[in-house]
Amino acid sequence: MIQGGHRTLLVASGLPEAGTTTMASNLAASFAASDRRTLLLDANFRRPAIGRIGGLDPDAIGFGDVLVGSAGLDSAIRNVSPRLDICPVGTPAARIVERLGTARVDEVLRELKERYDVIVIDAPPSVVAGDALVLAAKVDATMMVVRAFQEQRGLVSRMVHQLSDMPSAFLGIVLNRPRMTAGGYFRKNYEAMAKYSTAPAAGGSTAA
């Protein structure tokens, strides 16, 4: 992704519970641990989870509030590690899915690119809504998460074709069998990677 010059990455799936939130969270933590300013953005207005795993109030101000104009980015974004911020989905009244297809999303993403090296976006499953495909037309790159033994081949094939037809670059499929977590795995994972990336090696250099 970085080699291709992509800055915004949409993580999507075909069916619910494929593990997109876990995948997006771990990708964001990995980018942050490699010394890139990273934002994990929740765009799943129907079943948000980023705020919860970040330990925030589920109804905290977030992305939706920025889109409707009731809050600015500074109040919607929270820092969780030296190079990792999260933006939850927003208050219930601001979760208006129709806003995802507006020019305001493009404006917000442009502003975020001025602040961050990488923006990882968690999207709702395509079988539930077309929100992911709407967002796929607004980002630099997309990837699909498929849960092993769950999704039908036809559904996967259809979504791959749909994502491939978008102006964004389709990076491929991740086969996943998510383990049940409640955010603890994510928090421990990015904390461990952040400590490793900043730990001084012998001779005063950074650990490799």
- Is residue 199, in this structure, part of any structural domain at all? no
- Is residue 2, in this structure, part of any structural domain at all? no
- Is residue 203, in this structure, part of any structural domain at all? no
| CATH number, residue 72 | 3.40.50.300
- How many domains in the chain? 1
Task: Provide the 8-state DSSP code for 200.
Answer: B
What residues pair up with 161 in beta bridges, in sequence order? none
Half-sphere exposure of 148 (CA within 13 A, CB side): 5
- Is residue 200, in this structure, part of any structural domain at all? no
Pairing of strands 84-87, 38-42: parallel
- Is residue 24, in this structure, part of any structural domain at all? yes
Q: What is the pTM of this model?
A: 0.81
Instruction: Identify the pLDDT of residue 206.
Output: 38
Task: Provide the 8-state DSSP code for 56.
Answer: -
pLDDT digits (tens, 9 = 90+) for 80-133: 988 999 999 999 999 999 999 999 999 999 999 999 999 999 998 876 668 889
Instruction: Identify the pLDDT of residue 61.
Output: 96
Q: Which domain holds residue 61?
A: 8-194
- Is residue 206, in this structure, part of any structural domain at all? no
Region 19-27 average pLDDT? 91
Instruction: Give the orientation angle of helix 184-198 with respect to helix 20-33, to 10 degrees.
Output: 10
pLDDT digits (tens, 9 = 90+) for 117-126: 999 999 988 7
- Is residue 45, in this structure, part of any structural domain at all? yes
**Contact residues for 145 (Cβ-Cβ < 8 A; gap 6+):** 11, 12, 13, 18, 19, 20, 23, 173, 174, 176
- Of 111, 42, 103, nearest in space to 72 by CA: 111
Where is average pLDDT lowest: 6-15, 70-79, 188-197? 188-197
pLDDT digits (tens, 9 = 90+) for 133-192: 999 999 999 999 887 765 566 777 888 888 888 989 999 988 876 454 444 544 454 444
Measure the CA angle with vertex 93, ends 90 and 94; round to 5°.
45
pLDDT at residue 71 tops 90: yes
Question: CA 208: distance to chain centroid?
Answer: 26
- Is residue 208, in this structure, part of any structural domain at all? no
Rounded Cα gap, residues 193 and 201, in angstroms: 15
DSSP-H helix ranges across 141-183: 153-164
